[in-house]
Amino acid sequence: MHVITIAQQKGGSGKTTLTVGPATELARRGHRVAVIDLDPQGSLGQWFMRRLERDPEGGGIDFSTASAWGVGYEARKKRDVDVVLIDTPPKIDSDLKPALREADLVIVPVTASEVDLWATEGVLDLAAREGKRPLAVLNRAREGTKLTTAIKAALAGLAADPAETVIAQRVAHAEAMGAGQGACERARAGPAAAEIARLADEVAGRLGL
């Protein structure tokens, strides 16, 4: 069982999207997948409730919630799955440590803005204290802009490995979330699904899936 923690202290970075996208893509490939929602805002839980309306079995994904300090216990309960993805609250403090400690891979979404880049330093520092080197994913990027190009280049200077995959700002991701789906289920032949598939390839390669 592999644990992936998605963390970023700034709200609006797309943590839940980068939880749902790889989760549904890995499930589509036949992996047994679970997701855990640590965020009191409950966006991941709302997504899963919509998913249950489509499929009472959850579409091949197990869902649960946990407190910040109970996440290790909740993750270890899921011994019958291949991958657990943990969606964390948008903050950076001691409450995040247990989720980072449990992780085999930490994913840090970074939107194409200088503010997000600055905010990333805190979570990277906390991850480093737990002996983790995260995968930084440029998310909600606007293709072909100078800012996106600049932020992508700046990722190489962080204490993280920049993902090769860039997730663009696409309506398809929001539509899939609202429908309780992942991009791979909503528009399988579209560019949003292709981006998530490439990110899932990177994740799978790092975890040996």
Asked, for residue 205, whether it belongs to a domain, the answer is no
Among 92, 91, 84, which residue's Cα sits nearest to residue 63?
Answer: 84
* Backbone phi and psi for residue 98, each to the nearest 5 degrees, phi listed first: -60, -40
Domain span holding position 86: 2-199
Residue 128: the pLDDT is 93
Asked, for residue 183, whether it belongs to a domain, the answer is yes
Per-residue model confidence as pLDDT tens digits over 112-163 = 777 778 878 889 999 999 999 999 999 988 877 787 788 888 888 888 999 9
Asked, for residue 54, whether it belongs to a domain, the answer is yes
Q: How many residues can be counted in the chain?
A: 209
**Residue 57, token pair as written in the block:** 């079995």
Give me the amino acid identity at 104: D
**Mean per-residue pLDDT, 31-51:** 95
Looking at the 3D structure of the chain, how many domains does it have? 1
Asked, for residue 209, whether it belongs to a domain, the answer is no
Asked, for residue 206, whether it belongs to a domain, the answer is no
Asked, for residue 103, whether it belongs to a domain, the answer is yes
Residue 152: the pLDDT is 80
More confident residue, 23 or 189: 23
Among 34, 33, 6, which residue's Cα sits nearest to residue 19?
Answer: 6
Residue 141: the pLDDT is 85
Asked, for residue 207, whether it belongs to a domain, the answer is no
Asked, for residue 208, whether it belongs to a domain, the answer is no
Confidence of residue 50 (pLDDT cuts 50, 70, 90): very high
- Cα–Cα distance for residue pair 128/103, rounded to 1 Å: 12
Per-residue model confidence as pLDDT tens digits over 62-116 = 999 998 889 989 988 888 999 999 999 887 677 889 999 999 999 999 987 777 7
- pTM of structure: 0.93
CATH of the domain at 130: 3.40.50.300
Average pLDDT, the chain: 91
The one-character DSSP state at 180 is: T
